Structures are given as C-alpha cells and as structure tokens.
Amino acid sequence: MSDGRDRKERIDRGIKVRSDGLYAVSSLREMLYLSGPRILLIAGLLLLPLLLDPFPYWRRVINILCVYALLAIAFDFLANCVGLVCLGGSMFIGLGGYFAAVLNVHLHLPVYLSIPAAALAGAVVSTLLILPCLSLRGVYFAIVTLMYPLLFTRVIEAFDLLGGSNGITGLDSFPGSYLENYSILLILLAVLFGLRRVLNEDIGLVMHAVKDNDQSVRASGIDVVRIKALAVFIASFIGCLGGAYLAHVYMWAGLSLFALDFSIIPIAAVTIGGGGVLYGAVVGCLILVPLSEFLRFFGTFRIVLYCTVLTAFIVFKSEGLMPYCTRKYQQFERWADA
C-alpha cells in the first residue's frame, strides 16, 4: 500500500529507458520481467509431451500443432514483415514431404539427414516457382501461390508420378515417441527465435522497409526482388521442414500433403494470435488445433462452431491475442518513491 508519498509507475518504464536488450539490464527482477513470457512459452511447450504422456493421441496432436505453427510463422513472416500474402503453405508441406520420401526411401538417407535435405530442396524449388510472381502484389500474388498446390496434385495424379494417388510408403519413423515430439518442438523454438533475430538485424529492417514502401527501397539502390526472393526462401524452408517431418511421422507421402487445410488454418491461427509478432502465430495454433480436435465430437456441426469462434475473435479482438496481451503486460504498474 502507498503511504501517500509514493507514486505508481509502469514496471517497464525504467527498463525501456536504459535499454531494450535483455543483457544490458542489471536487476534480476527486471530480467525476469522481460524474459518471463519467453520462459513461459518455452517451458510450456517443452512440458507438453510429459504432461500428455498418458494420452498418446494428444501427444500426436502436439506434432501436428507444431507443423501448423511452422506454417503460421512462415505466413506471418511473409505477410506482415515483407508484405507478401502467400497462400502456398500446402505446397511447402507437399514438396517437403515428397522430397523426404524420395531421399529416405529411394536414396536411403536416415531421418536426421532426409528432413533438412528435403527442406532445403523444397525451399529451392518453391523459390524458383514463386520467383516469376514476385512482381505481383496483393490478391494476385496470393491467388497464384494458392494455385501451385492444386497444380502439383493434378500433375501427380494425372501422370501417376511418385506413386500416384497411392503416394510413397515405407518411410522410416522416429526411433522413439519422445524423440518424435521433442525434435519438432526444438525445431519450432529454433525457427521462432532465430527468425526474430533475423528480423532485428539489418536485413530484417530492409524487409520491413520493402513491406512499407518498396519503391523507396528500390530508389536507394537495393534489389527488392532479391530481398523478396530471400524472404520466400526462408519461409518455404520453414514450411518444407514441417512437411518433411510430417512425412516421417506418417511414414507416407501422398496427395493429402497438398490439402488446402495447410494453407487456410495457419492464416486463421495468425488472425487469432496476432500478426507481425511471430509468436502470436504459435499461440494461435495452441488454441486453434486443439479446438479443432475437440470439435470433432460434434460431427459436421463442428464447422458451425469453428466459424463462430473465428468470427468472434475477428470481431471482438481483431488485433489478435498476443498484441493485446503484450500491451496489457507492458502496462503493469508498481509503487515507486516519489
């Protein structure tokens, strides 16, 4: 309680004045205040497999959740940091999955090599396919990227490529269930914090500038197409990483990897969690994917409930949960000497 001579001030006021960097803060209490949300997110994700150990089905849901989170981060990165609304999430998943299947089944690469190799190969192919479309903007770019998964599906089915409608079977699985869980969790955390680091560097500032005004960036002598191509490569690598992992989880790669769910659900997750902050995409998936599983009990009526929840978030919290929670967290106050 105040004795009448104290005043209230925001907790982060003095911290922000001195430095935005965590390691420049000397007080342990201030360090915990800044790092608290990050610690909560990391600890919560790493504890999920242990907490859900008695429920094998929900442990498998964790894997799917992390794959959607990777796609949501890739979408958020392109849309809100570079200005490219890419609906090709299912293309990333499909290419990553099929490349992993070919490398593992036909070239006999082990799991720990086939996943990164497939992600790299899928990212190169995705970037080459999207490269001619980088001059397009807005809905035109989005429509073109949405067409690619449909194109791959029809070509594979029509020419009976890569196993046709049956797909490629016989992929190696992970040696253990915990390795299966924690490999994708660690990949997700590495992508999340690594991408945030990239955005805080000079190249990240240029990407934000491309989103805000690409003509000014071009006038300054920077190759805008090269910056956009780099951003597409990073996002597609993240998505293909999830697809390669998913193929080994299912021990199969088929046409369902190009399903539009992999393009639509990440967008909904970013809408719920909040765009432009990356970790909002993860929080959106933590809400959306378990909700989708719970709504299966309602049969076909689950679509109505699903749409109702999404509409409520868009109408009442259009900024997303994480920007709202971040703003409230930064408004916490404490008593200080007058």
Q: pLDDT (tens digit, 9 = 90+) per residue, 120-159?
A: 999 999 999 999 988 887 788 888 898 999 999 999 988 8
Look at residue 280 and tell me if it is in a domain. yes
Q: How many domains does the chain have?
A: 2
Element (H or E) spanning 245, and its range?
Answer: helix 224-250
Look at residue 325 and tell me if it is in a domain. yes
Q: pLDDT (tens digit, 9 = 90+) per residue, 262-289?
A: 888 888 888 888 887 888 888 888 888 8
> Which whole number is the average pLDDT over 19-38?
64
Do residues 116 and 45 share a domain?
no
> Which whole number is the average pLDDT over 300-322?
75
Q: What is the pTM of this model?
A: 0.88
Q: Is 84 helix (H, G, I), strand (E, B) or coil?
A: coil
Closest CA to 247 of 107, 94, 123: 94
Using the 3D structure, point to which of 31, 51, 71 is the last residue of a domain.
51
Look at residue 227 and tell me if it is in a domain. yes
Look at residue 107 and tell me if it is in a domain. yes
Residue 121 is predicted with a pLDDT of: 95
Look at residue 158 and tell me if it is in a domain. yes
Instruction: Report whether pLDDT(5) > 70.
Output: no
C-beta separation of 13 from 330 below 8 A? no
Higher pLDDT pick, 164 / 243:
243
Closest CA to 61 of 321, 295, 286, 247: 286
Instruction: Report whether pLDDT(241) > 90.
Output: yes
Q: pLDDT (tens digit, 9 = 90+) per residue, 196-240?
A: 888 888 888 899 888 888 888 888 888 899 999 999 999 999 999
Do residues 255 and 324 share a domain?
yes
Do residues 98 and 193 share a domain?
yes
Provide φ and ψ at 168, rounded to 5°: -110, 125
| Domain range for 22 | 15-51
Calpha distance 210→205 (Å, rounded): 9
Do residues 163 and 246 share a domain?
yes
Look at residue 6 and tell me if it is in a domain. no
C-beta separation of 171 from 104 below 8 A? yes
Do residues 25 and 143 share a domain?
no
Look at residue 10 and tell me if it is in a domain. no
Q: Give the CATH number of the domain where residue 259 resides.
A: 1.10.3470
% of the chain exceeding 70 in pLDDT:
87
Look at residue 63 and tell me if it is in a domain. yes
Mean pLDDT of the chain: 84
Using the 3D structure, point to which of 34, 51, 68 is the last residue of a domain.
51
DSSP state of 165: G
Q: pLDDT (tens digit, 9 = 90+) per residue, 6-22?
A: 666 666 655 554 455 54
% of the chain exceeding 90 in pLDDT:
30
Do residues 183 and 299 share a domain?
yes
Q: Which of 39-53, 113-127, 241-255 has the lowest mean pLDDT?
A: 39-53
Do residues 305 and 212 share a domain?
yes
Please, which pLDDT band fits residue 337 given cuts at 50, 70 and 90? low
Do residues 237 and 212 share a domain?
yes
Please, which pLDDT band fits residue 53 given cuts at 50, 70 and 90? confident
Q: Which of 30-39, 51-60, 186-195 has the lowest mean pLDDT?
A: 30-39
Do residues 41 and 60 share a domain?
no
Do residues 307 and 235 share a domain?
yes
Do residues 313 and 196 share a domain?
yes
Residue 236 is predicted with a pLDDT of: 94
Do residues 36 and 105 share a domain?
no
